[in-house]
Structure 1
Amino acid sequence: MSMVTPVAIPVEGKKGEKKAAKWLGHYSSAQSILVVGDGDFSFSLALATAFGSGEKLVATSFDSYVHLVSMYSKAESNVAELKSLGATVLHSVSVKKMKKRTDLMSRRFDRIVFNFPHAGFIGKENQVHMINAHRLLVQRFFRNVSKMLRPLGEIHVSHKTGQPYDRWEIEGLALEFSLLKFEMVAFRKEDYPGYNQKRGDGDRCDEEFPLRNGCTFKFQRWPR
């Protein structure tokens, strides 16, 4: 069941009227949201569709647009629909260098979302060099986005738990940049209708991967 819920948060609408914000999962139409590394953009589209607008949403992909549409069967239509809903869509965005991009460097967000970060398939997940590659990716992500939050803003990283994923030690990586985990909740794909997580690499890039034991880690700057 979708978790779209109207709440009594005033949002400025057309001609100055007030309307209730809409929620999907942990996210609200009243929040400025940055989604990074969004695969085929289906997560961002789920948010914009539920909100009825993407006006406050910035959705990004690591891949160029040309590469993106060659990898994912629904990427072209998802991007077009996001833009029609007013979302900002950016391509070739590296989580390691985001804060230096001219189209992002002056922006601040209430929520920054990175779902299931992955450094690529360069070995088995339990190999030390793979774990180190993942850790470096997440570390550089935190370094960048720690400067892109609004006051009381939150960074959400959805991540598998258990071995070998616990060896990424993402809570420790976040603390390096004064980001403290204040909550961890189970990631429920059904809360985001239309979201399809993608492998993102190789001949099976457009296939989904299992989300067993997935959790959303929520971080804020410390002290709050």
Structure 2
Amino acid sequence: MEAAIADTKREKRIMHYSSNQKILLVSEGNFSFASCLAKAFGSAKNMVATSLDSRESVLAKYSNAAPRNLRKLKDMGCVILYEVDVHTMRQHPLLVDQLFDRIVFNFPHAGFFFMENQKSQIKLHQDLVRRFFTSACEMLTERGEVHVTHKTSYPFSKWEIVKLANEVALYLVEEAPFSRGDYPGYLNKRGSGKKCNRTFPVGLCSTYKFAKLPLLEFSDNSI
């Protein structure tokens, strides 16, 4: 019996994430990334997963997978929050007093207003990411990290993710190649427009890891 109890408390990992970390996932689409982590950990009690959409909108936009993912996450102890704007999330009543070891934003996107290579569209994306970094920086534990998974090819490289992080005193710890296959069950979604439930080719992309201090020992193995 004691061995069984000890086993349930054993750390479980998937890529950069651990069951011992307190994790905030922002702007989830159909909540498949959160569901993937929960399955790997065997629990979601260490996780808060948020969406910019209302619950009704999430269920309508991602009707083929979101209901199942949300039920699974709730049963596994995940805190699920809707209508959370990454610009103001630190002021949310259920987040205002919380600090996290990992804050994760996969494939941030400001919406489809112009062509992706147009300066106006790039500026919209940069404003979204900059304001996210500003909020996230105040929600990190001492050794916490902000993770942004982002395409590295043109024109997405023009967002200058690292420079935006530096503006709010976040420094690059590591740029790790991203493969969707490393996260079983995860399906990235467009998120807005008539094709919101469609996935998109990620191509070349990386998970950028940022910390408050430029110390390499603050990598994912430190917690």
Please indicate, yes or no, whether the TM-score normalized by the shorter chain is above 0.5: yes
Alignment correspondent of 1:120: 111
Which whole-Å CA distance do the structure 2 matches of 1:14 and 1:43 have between them? 28
In structure 1, distance between residues paired with 2:7 and 2:112:
49
Deviation per CA, 1:169-219: give whole Å up to 9, x if none: 111110111100011011111111110000111121111000100110000
Moved more, 192-201 or 17-26: 17-26
User: Which digits, 9 at most, give the CA deviation of each residue in 1:146-178, with x for residues without a partner?
Assistant: 000001111100000021111101111101111
Equivalent position of 1:68 in the other structure? 58
Separation in structure 1 between the aligned mates of residue 174 and residue 69 of structure 2, nearest angstrom: 31
Provide the C-alpha distance between the structure 2 equivalents of 1:173 and 1:119, rounded to a whole number of angstroms: 15
The structure with the largest strand share of the pair is 1
Structure 1 gap ranges (5+)? 1-12
Equivalent position of 2:137 in the other structure: 146
- The one-letter code sitting in structure 1 at the alignment partner of 2:204 is N
Q: Would you say 1:184 and 2:184 are equivalent positions?
A: no
Instruction: Find out whether 1:28 has 2:14 as its counterpart.
Output: no
Q: Flag the 1:22–1:144 CA change in 2: closer, same or farther, 3 A.
A: same
Superposition RMSD in Å? 1.6
2:44 alignment partner, SS class: coil
* 1:143 aligned counterpart, secondary structure: helix
CA distance in 1, matches of 2:6, 2:33: 29
Matched, 1:79 2:55: no
Report the Cα offset of residue 19 of structure 1: 3.1
- SS in structure 2 opposite 1:112? strand
The alpha carbon displacement at 1:14 in A equals 9.6
One-letter amino acid of the counterpart of residue 68, structure 1: V
TM-score by length of 2: 0.91
Q: Deviations over 1:104-160 (max 9, x none)?
A: 010000000000000001111001110000000000000000000001111100000
The match for 2:87 among 96, 100, 111 is 96
CA separation in 1, counterparts of 2:185 and 2:203? 18
* Conservation of the 8 A alpha-carbon contact between 2:143 and 2:211: yes
Match of 1:220 among 204, 211, 214: 211
Q: Distance in 2 between matches of 1:20 and 1:56?
A: 14
Paired position in structure 2 for 1:43? 33
Give the gaps of 5 or more residues in structure 2: 216-223
